[in-house]
Amino acid sequence: MNTQDCIDAAFSGESQANRKYKSYSEAAADEGYDHVAKLFRATSAAEEIHARRLLRVGGYIGSTVANLEAGRIGELHETNEMYPEFVAIAEKEDRQDAFITFTHAMKAEAVHADLYQKALDAVKAGKDFDVKTIYLCPVCGNIEINKTSERCPICGIPGESFKVVE
Amino acid sequence: MNTDDCILSAFSAEARVNRKYHSFAKIAAGEGYDHVAKLFRATSAAEEIHSHHLLSIGGYLGTTAENIETGIIAELRASNESYPKFITIAENEDRSEAVVTFTHAMKAEAAHAVLYREAADAVKAGKDFDAEIIYLCPVCGNIEIDRTPERCPICGIPGSSFKAVE
| DSSP codes joined into one string, A12-48 | HHHHHHHHHHHHHHHHHHHTT-HHHHHHHHHHHHHHH
A105 closest CA partner among A80, A70, A140: A140
Find out whether B134 and A65 touch, Cβ atoms under 8 Å. no
- What average pLDDT is seen over chain B? 96
pLDDT digits (tens, 9 = 90+) for B55-73: 999 999 999 999 999 999 9
Give the per-residue pLDDT at B43.
97
Give the per-residue pLDDT at A32.
95
The 10 Å Cβ neighbour count of residue B127 is: 13
Rounded to whole angstroms, the Cα distance separating A153 from B103 reads: 46
Q: Does A80 touch chain B (CB under 8 A)?
A: no
Best residue in B12, B55, B63, B67 for a mutation probing chain A (most A CBs within 10 Å): B67
Rounded to whole angstroms, the Cα distance separating A31 from A45 reads: 21
DSSP for A87-119, written as a single string: HHHHHHTT-HHHHHHHHHHHHHHHHHHHHHHHH
- B57–A98 C-beta distance less than 8 A: yes
What is the enclosing helix (H) or strand (E) of B135? strand B134-136
Which CATH number applies to B3-57?
Answer: 1.20.1260.10
Distances (CA, A) of A133 to A75, A120, B33: 22, 18, 15
pLDDT digits (tens, 9 = 90+) for A94-148: 999 999 999 999 999 999 999 999 999 999 999 999 999 999 999 999 999 999 9
**Domain topology for B131-166:** Rubrerythrin, domain 2 (2.20.28)
Q: Does B80 touch chain A (CB under 8 A)?
A: no
A53/A75 same-domain check:
no
User: What is the percent of chain A where pLDDT is above 90?
Assistant: 100
B154 closest CA partner among B145, B166, B138, B142: B142
What's the pLDDT band for B149 if we cut at 50, 70, 90? very high
- B131–A35 C-beta distance less than 8 A: yes
Mean per-residue pLDDT for A24-33? 96
Rounded to whole angstroms, the Cα distance separating A166 from A47 reads: 23
A15/A33 same-domain check:
yes
Chain A residues within 8 A of B46 when measuring between CB atoms = 108, 112, 136-137, 141-143
**Which CATH number does the domain housing residue A161 bear?**
2.20.28.10
Give the per-residue pLDDT at B54.
97
Strand order in the sheet with A134-136: A143-145, A134-136, A163-164
Number of domains in chain A: 3
A117/A69 same-domain check:
yes
- A39–B119 C-beta distance less than 8 A: yes
pLDDT digits (tens, 9 = 90+) for A64-73: 999 999 999 9
Can you give the residue ranges of every domain in chain B?
Answer: 3-57, 62-127, 131-166
B24 closest CA partner among A111, A110, A76, A116: A116
Mean per-residue pLDDT for A16-38? 96
Mean per-residue pLDDT for B93-101? 97
Rounded to whole angstroms, the Cα distance separating A119 from B24 reads: 13
What is the enclosing helix (H) or strand (E) of A57? helix A34-57
Rounded to whole angstroms, the Cα distance separating A144 from A135 reads: 5
A21/A11 same-domain check:
yes
Give the per-residue pLDDT at B122.
96
Find out whether B47 and A112 touch, Cβ atoms under 8 Å. no
Longest dimension (CA), chain B: 51
Give the per-residue pLDDT at A141.
97
- A70–B128 C-beta distance less than 8 A: no
- What average pLDDT is seen over chain A? 96
Give the per-residue pLDDT at A76.
97
Mean per-residue pLDDT for B41-61? 96
Best residue in A128, A139, A164 for a mutation probing chain B (most B CBs within 10 Å): A128
Cβ-Cβ contacts under 8 Å between A and B: the total is: 290
Find out whether A24 and B65 touch, Cβ atoms under 8 Å. no
What's the pLDDT band for B53 if we cut at 50, 70, 90? very high
What's the pLDDT band for B115 if we cut at 50, 70, 90? very high
What range does the domain containing A10 cover?
Answer: 3-57
